[in-house]
Amino acid sequence: MKRGRLRVLLGAAPGVGKTYTMLEDGARLRDEGKTVEVAVVETHGRTATAAQLEGLPVIPRTITEHRGVELTEMDLDAVLERHPQVALVDELAHTNAPGSRNEKRWQDVDALLEAGIDVISTVNVQHIESLSDVVEQITGAPQRETIPDQVLRAADQIEVVDLAPQALRDRLAEGNVYPAARIDAALSNYFRLGNLTALRELALLWLADEVDSALKAYRSEHGIDSKWEARERVVVALTGGPEGETLIRRGARIAARAAGGDLLVVHVSRQDGLAETFPGALASQRSLTEKLGGSYHQVVGDDVPRALVDFAKAMNATQLVLGVSRRSRIAAALTGPGIGATVIRESGVIDVHIVTHSKAGGHFTLPRVGGALTLKRRLVGSALALALGPLVTWILVTFRTDETLTSDVLVFQLLVVVVALVGGIWPALFAAVLSGFTLDFFFVEPFHSVTIARPFHLLALALYVINALLVSYVVDQAARRSRSAARALAESELLATIAGSVLRGQDALQALITRTREVFHLTSVQVTSGAETLYCTGDPKDGDHVTRIEVGEHGTLELRGPDLAASERRLLKVIAAQVDAALEHNALSATADAVRPLAQVDQVRSALLAAVGHDLRRPLASATAAIGGLQTPGVTLSDVDREELLATAAESLDSLATLVTNLLDVSRVQAGALAVSLVDVDVDDVILGAFDELGIGPDEVDLGIEQNLPPVVADPVLLQRVVVNLLDNALRYDAPGGRVHVSASSFAGTLQIRIADRGPGVSPDRREDIFVPFQRLGDTDNTTGLGLGLALSKGFTEGMGGTLEVEDTPGGGLTMVVTLPLR
């Protein structure tokens, strides 16, 4: 019998729509004429999911009793007996009740497949065995039900049912996933935005790896050797030299440009083991590779380029990164093309990146302005004149006739021009004089003597030498201008590089002195102020020659290394000016940093005086008026009036005492002198105590406290004041007719108290401001106190080792989240 096909719908979290999609596909297959039956489905009370069952036959479940509790499971025997073409089996990782035929539901599914029944099933990423520990680290929730990876990978088809994290949170907030009583706890724990994003990435990456394995198997079965660019794979080739880290980081950046790109680092070692390598460097490079998320490979092969290309093709690489050769030009000329050239020729459709590094061409340097061609070019020009002169003479003498003198002169003229182009004025002058004597000795009568019979020939030789001098002069001037232009370009690149370092956020002074040391081949550069060294690069103990340049009034620039030419000292003046500007900027920044706390203190003091001037005036005025009314002579007050005035005075004085207490607490928090007594606290008592203090009953708010909460480590007095402040704030700003929601739940070793309102909320850019003392929402309502409640709440919470954070309430409003450690 032909084995059935298994199709698995993979989800990142509950509620993304796996069961809904499974039932929807079942209905579609039923409409296509196939017999489809629901073997088992878990709707979890979701109305939309239950509605999809309409029209689909559901096989009754079998009932098993375990420890006095009735459990329902899929009736495997009934499904096999009815033998539909397609069976819908929800929750593939489910553990069956004790006494069932199989321990796991995926084993039941395997029995259906063996019977030739096609199965559509569902599973969440947290149930994949290889990912369960990762999911627990992300969510804090252990996974008791898992499915082996090989079982899931054996499925004929795996699809991800994807939903954006925020869309899933919105679906949860609307009550489409869990009952209302579980929504707040779910949003604050498992269904956090960061958790959902990480779980979604896990699901997509797991499926991508599965697709990649299937692709490799297909290419292997069909003998396909060409590159398929399904995913960016960057292979970095290491020689074992110190340039390896540069290559690895470059390869990692290339791989990171494409989502899901792979980094593979390979070192090819020869079979004879004679190639020069650096084991320590390879070990550190392997560690770096692993830190960057890549994989390290070791390949043995005598033909290094062929081994690299074969490895890249085997890995289906799209790009190959190599370092530029460390050989000199002479070595390259003697030994032929290097590994890079051979790899480029053999790589085919694989892109090859040749990356320069410090061991190849050194750091960026400025060309020296010498005014003429280099000594090397002059020597080459002289050697060319000595080598080609005799050769040209021998050839021309062999074919000499009475009519060839003109052509002979032109040939020697060409020789002088070639030498001038290569070596400049002095080799060209040497070639002109040498060729003039040669022409006179071998080609002008009388032959084999330096005498000239005709004055016209003397004039021709003179013009010939002058022409050679003019050509060589033009070449020399062109070389001079080319060198000057290269120098100017290099200086511009230097200054642009320094400016770029500053713009990218790097330390301006450090960038300046580092580039200066590289450019001028110095052993060290440092900026000093008196006996203090402000910045330094290199070893200041190396180098005998020291050049010191004053940089304004702020310090001295010290350079150790070879003596600098006058043209280089000119550029140093520009660099010194920039160093001076950077030092001045740093000094101004330090002054601003020193003044900023004073400005903040002054701002707080002004806010305090303004707030105190208003908020203390009201209770003082009320108390004064009440007491004055009691003391007014000649006025007889009734008992009711007297009690009312006394109550007004008492209320005003209580308000005044609260304000003063809050001011003292703020000062203690800011001074770090808050007294905290941490003990085990029952959060139920704290929340109910806050209700009593505010005079509200549990029926006036939505209360959701997780049962059997362990004690929280906190100061009971401070924690109650935090809850009172947050709850009072929520009640004040809640929407008309709305109800504040208060909940408490445990999550990953912590307790979270969430107080949510449906008010106007706070924009993200102002959320830090609400915790600043003497700040009120909008700073317009002067009837709501000093604006100390949230500042105190944050200070108290952090003093107890917890955090106070702000979140949006799903559907609108603000949620304050207090997180404290559990015992």
Confidence of residue 221 (pLDDT cuts 50, 70, 90): low
pTM over 0.85: no
Q: Residue 672 burial by CB count (10 A; 0-12/13-18/19+): exposed, middle or buried?
A: exposed
Q: Residue 668 burial by CB count (10 A; 0-12/13-18/19+): exposed, middle or buried?
A: middle
Determine the Cα–Cα distance for residues 312 and 309; give it in Å rounded to an integer: 5
Report residue 609 as tokens.
Answer: 């005086």
Which sign does the torsion angle of CA 564, 570, 574, 577 carry? Answer: positive
> In 3D, which of 679, 667, 557 has the Cα closest to residue 605?
667
Which sign does the torsion angle of CA 202, 204, 206, 212 carry? Answer: negative
Taking only the tens place, the pLDDT of each residue in 86-130 is 999 999 999 998 888 899 999 999 999 999 999 999 999 999 988
Taking only the tens place, the pLDDT of each residue in 522-565 is 788 888 887 778 878 877 776 567 888 887 777 888 888 877 76
**Of 78 and 690, the one with more pLDDT:** 78
**Of 753 and 786, the one with more pLDDT:** 753
Determine the Cα–Cα distance for residues 63 and 70; give it in Å rounded to an integer: 6
Taking only the tens place, the pLDDT of each residue in 170-202 is 888 887 887 766 776 677 778 888 889 889 988
Confidence of residue 744 (pLDDT cuts 50, 70, 90): confident
Do 7 and 121 contact (CB within 8 A), yes or no? yes
Percent of the chain scored above 90 by pLDDT? 13
Task: Count the helix, strand and coil residues of the chain and give each as a percent rounded to the nearest 5.
Answer: 50, 15, 30
Determine the Cα–Cα distance for residues 555 and 581; give it in Å rounded to an integer: 11
Top mean pLDDT of 322-326, 564-568, 778-782 is at: 322-326
Taking only the tens place, the pLDDT of each residue in 491-532 is 666 666 555 555 544 456 777 777 777 667 778 888 888 777
Percent of the chain scored above 70 by pLDDT? 76
In the predicted model, is pLDDT for residue 273 greater than 50? no
Q: What is the dihedral of CA 129, 135, 139, 145, to 10 degrees?
A: -10
462-479 per-residue burial string, b: 16 or more CB within 10 A, e: under 16: eebeeebbebbeebbeeb
**Of 515 and 398, the one with more pLDDT:** 398
